[in-house]
A and B are shown apart, each in its own frame.
Chain A
Amino acid sequence: MEQEAPVGVKAGGDSGSTFVSRFVPAVVPLLLLACLAALPLMGPGPNIIRLLFVTLTWVTASVGWNLIGGFAGQISFGFAVFYGLGAYTTALSLNSGIPPVMAFSFGAAVAAVASLLIGLPTFRLKGPYFAIATIGVSEAVRVVMMNVPFTGGASGYRIIEKTRFVQSQHYNTALILAALAVGISILVRRSKLGLALVAIREDQDAASDLGVNPFIAKLVVHALAAALAGAAGGVYARYSLFIDPDGVFAFRNGIAILLMPIIGGVGTIWGPVIGAFVYGLIHEEVVANFPQAHLLIFGSLLILIILFEPGGLVGLFRKFMRSLRARSSVGSHS
């Protein structure tokens, strides 16, 4: 019985790709995008739009995290710091009269710069030390922001929005950003950088022995990931008009950003997207009906995924497809 290939690897045993298997992965996401774009016009309630809006910001952050955590295998527990920095930078920019798109870009840029400052010392660390360091940095920034009077400290910071609130505008921004994030993710994965990242993830020393510069590769992708998380934070900030350190810099956010790709399938393109949607939905349902059991559910979900299907939902799907294919080729030898 042939051993299963792990997530991220195309099983080599197929009888060649069919039209369907190449057509579907390209068309389905585009259809989905079209549906999501058309949604506000079909008049669902503002609650649904809000839920999708938040989910789409999560998609961006989740896809971003996956670049460094999934492709490159550097597990950061502290991505809340980029989300928060993006939120605060955007908020400060908006209040200074800077137009929204530029404000989001500033948020992304500040997050990217921060990622370099954080990455330079921490990427030399091995395994668990790196994860621990990211927690430390994230929490340190949160505590500092709680105490800095300029941005309101613990009482938070308010954005003074001069234009009228149009929900669909926020929704469209989040959608465009999420689509952009996925696009970047696909481009990176298919590029030379993507190959380097997977090599680094599998065996950094061997990668270096073949000419890959792991330091530059990690710093570059970390900056991209941070920029996306920062942009997500910025988009969220503009929507909610009020941010505070215990909200945006919360360790809980860092956990969420990490959890989503894992639920969906860490290291894949669509895993983080699926995971974000699953998380968004569960989060909404759970917070509505069982507000007290929210960590319990996510913790148990994480445990179950780790024990039984580390490849997440995408992994499950691939196993399912493989068993279908195996069944349909009865009699033929793999």
Chain B
Amino acid sequence: MSAADFLNLFIAAVLLAGVYAAMSVGMTIIYGVMKIVNLAHAGFLMLGAYFVFEAYDRFKIDPLLGVLLAFPVFFLIGMGVHWLLVRRIATSDQPTLTSLLLLFGVWLVLQNLGYLIWGNSDRAILTPRTLSSFELGPISFPTVRLTVFVVAVASLVGLEFVLHKTWFGRSVRALMQNKEAGQIVGVNVQRTAQIAFGVGIAFAGAAGGLLAMLYSFNPDFGASFQLRAFVIIVLGGLESFGGVAIGSLILALAETFVILILPASYQPAIAFSLLVVALIVLPEGIAGLWNKRRRWA
């Protein structure tokens, strides 16, 4: 394999990693603040995809704009779901079975809604951007991947800004580290939780839109990406944003380069196998290893 080919694959993996990170960060926020594993994440990925699709198909809104619109729309949806359902169950410092099952139920409902509204068939978002590619010397990659990557990274940078420079962000980080201490210091747990949930869903919806620009989709769409999000979070640790970046990169690299060895039909198994191996070897993710050296266990 030539250096140019290798570089192409590598860059493709990096671009993919960016989107994967945007896709997974929503779960990290929700888990970090509320210790809830959002099994409905897949459903919101799917809804985000259809949202951007409909915006483009019916209203001729450019998908990138659609993704940007998805942020506020899904933020509100997320806050709504929290107000309606999530705030009614008890949360604790340990992830609970009830939250797991509740969000699982939400996922089932969302999936079915998807089928009812849009039917079974695959859709895709095709814009002039989809078919063009960007050349830089020996490297070429599809423009759409580049634009999606840029938006993903921009949104992650935006999130970092919010987490470090705003009151809300500080509350989130405080609660992620120690819920009780946060409460004592004056953080409004319920409000922060609701906003955090909204942000998490916002990222899910927007990421769904980004993914829809790259892949075709149907109502089942969320499931395989949800599993990838799990892998990323397990690799990176459920509570670490840096971990999400590392995990995304590892998964994207694995998926991109493994095509050289195994037939394509095995590809879904990559995520699963990586997940299982990661869980065996790193029960607390890569970030867990790092944290053991820094934090009070």
| Contacts A75-B97, A293-B116 given; does A307 touch B85 at CB 8 Å | yes
Nearest residue in A to B265 (C-beta to C-beta)? A147
Report how far A262 CA is from B227 CA in the complex, Å.
Answer: 24
Q: Contact at B268–A292, with CB atoms within 8 Å?
A: no
Is B112 an interface residue, CB under 8 A from the partner? yes
Total B residues in contact with A, Cβ cutoff 8 Å: 43
> B50 to chain A: closest CB distance in Å?
16
Is B74 an interface residue, CB under 8 A from the partner? no
Q: Contact at A136–B112, with CB atoms within 8 Å?
A: no
Is B49 an interface residue, CB under 8 A from the partner? no
Q: Contact at B101–A147, with CB atoms within 8 Å?
A: no
For residue A302, which residues in chain B have a CB less than 8 angstroms away from its CB?
101-102, 104-105, 108
Report how far A146 CA is from B272 CA in the complex, Å.
Answer: 14
Nearest residue in B to A262 (C-beta to C-beta)? B101
| Contacts A128-B37, A147-B265 given; does A292 touch B97 at CB 8 Å | no
For residue A22, which residues in chain B have a CB less than 8 angstroms away from its CB?
none
* Interface residue ranges of A109-163 to B (CB < 8 Å): 121-122, 124-129, 131-133, 135-137, 139-140, 143-144, 146-147
Nearest residue in A to B226 (C-beta to C-beta)? A135
> Taking chain A's interface residues, is the majority helix, strand, or loop, or is none over half, making it mixed?
helix
Is A280 an interface residue, CB under 8 A from the partner? no
Is B259 an interface residue, CB under 8 A from the partner? no
Q: Contact at B273–A295, with CB atoms within 8 Å?
A: no
Report how far A163 CA is from B173 CA in the complex, Å.
Answer: 67
Is B157 an interface residue, CB under 8 A from the partner? no
* Interface residue ranges of B101-128 to A (CB < 8 Å): 101-102, 104-113, 115-116
Is A242 an interface residue, CB under 8 A from the partner? no
Q: Contact at A303–B279, with CB atoms within 8 Å?
A: no
For residue A143, which residues in chain B have a CB less than 8 angstroms away from its CB?
266, 268-269, 272
Q: Contact at A129–B279, with CB atoms within 8 Å?
A: yes
Report how far A121 CA is from B227 CA in the complex, Å.
Answer: 19
1/0 per residue B268-290: CB within 8 Å of A?
Answer: 11011101100110010000000
Is A33 an interface residue, CB under 8 A from the partner? no
Report how far A122 CA is from B113 CA in the complex, Å.
Answer: 33
Q: Which of A132, A298, A306 makes the CB contact (< 8 A) with B234?
A: A132
Is A294 an interface residue, CB under 8 A from the partner? yes
Q: Contact at B105–A296, with CB atoms within 8 Å?
A: no
| Contacts A295-B112, A296-B116 given; does A128 touch B268 at CB 8 Å | no
Is B20 an interface residue, CB under 8 A from the partner? no
> B279 to chain A: closest CB distance in Å?
5
For residue A310, which residues in chain B have a CB less than 8 angstroms away from its CB?
98
Report how far A262 CA is from B100 CA in the complex, Å.
Answer: 13
For residue A6, which residues in chain B have a CB less than 8 angstroms away from its CB?
none
Report how far A133 CA is from B276 CA in the complex, Å.
Answer: 6
Q: Which of B108, B263, B272 makes the CB contact (< 8 A) with A296?
A: B108
Report how far A132 CA is from B95 CA in the complex, Å.
Answer: 13
User: Besides A121-B276, A293-B112, 20 other CB < 8 A contacts?
Assistant: A121-B279, A125-B283, A128-B95, A131-B37, A132-B37, A132-B234, A136-B230, A136-B279, A140-B269, A143-B266, A144-B269, A147-B263, A255-B104, A292-B116, A293-B116, A295-B112, A296-B112, A299-B106, A299-B111, A302-B104
21 contacts between A and B (CB under 8 A): A75-B100, A128-B95, A129-B283, A136-B230, A136-B272, A136-B276, A136-B279, A139-B268, A140-B273, A140-B275, A143-B272, A147-B265, A255-B108, A292-B115, A299-B104, A299-B112, A300-B109, A302-B101, A303-B105, A306-B89, A307-B89
Listed from nearest, the 10 A-B pairs whose CB atoms lie closest are: A299-B108, A302-B105, A140-B272, A296-B112, A299-B109, A295-B112, A136-B275, A303-B105, A128-B37, A121-B280
